[in-house]
Amino acid sequence: MAYKISDECIGCGACAAECPAGAISEADGKCVIDADACLDCGACAGVCPVGAPQAE
């Protein structure tokens, strides 16, 4: 199951830099995860300062 970034995202990009699949991009000041590319590894959740990436 892919991760999803909640509204708590502050758009810092820490998660995008950590994603091994390159599944995270920024849109309108927030980060978004491409569910089809997400490996469900949780690397993004481990580095997010506000806990925005969450398993669906």
Q: Break the chain into its structural domains and give their ranges.
A: 3-55
* CATH number 3.30.70.20 given to 3-55: yes
Q: Is the pTM of this model over 0.75?
A: yes
Sign of the four-CA dihedral 6, 44, 20, 25 = positive
CA distance 39 to 16: 13
- Residue 1 confidence (pLDDT): 79
What is the full per-residue pLDDT of the chain (56 aa) written as tens digits?
Answer: 799 999 999 999 999 999 999 999 999 999 999 999 999 999 999 999 999 999 98
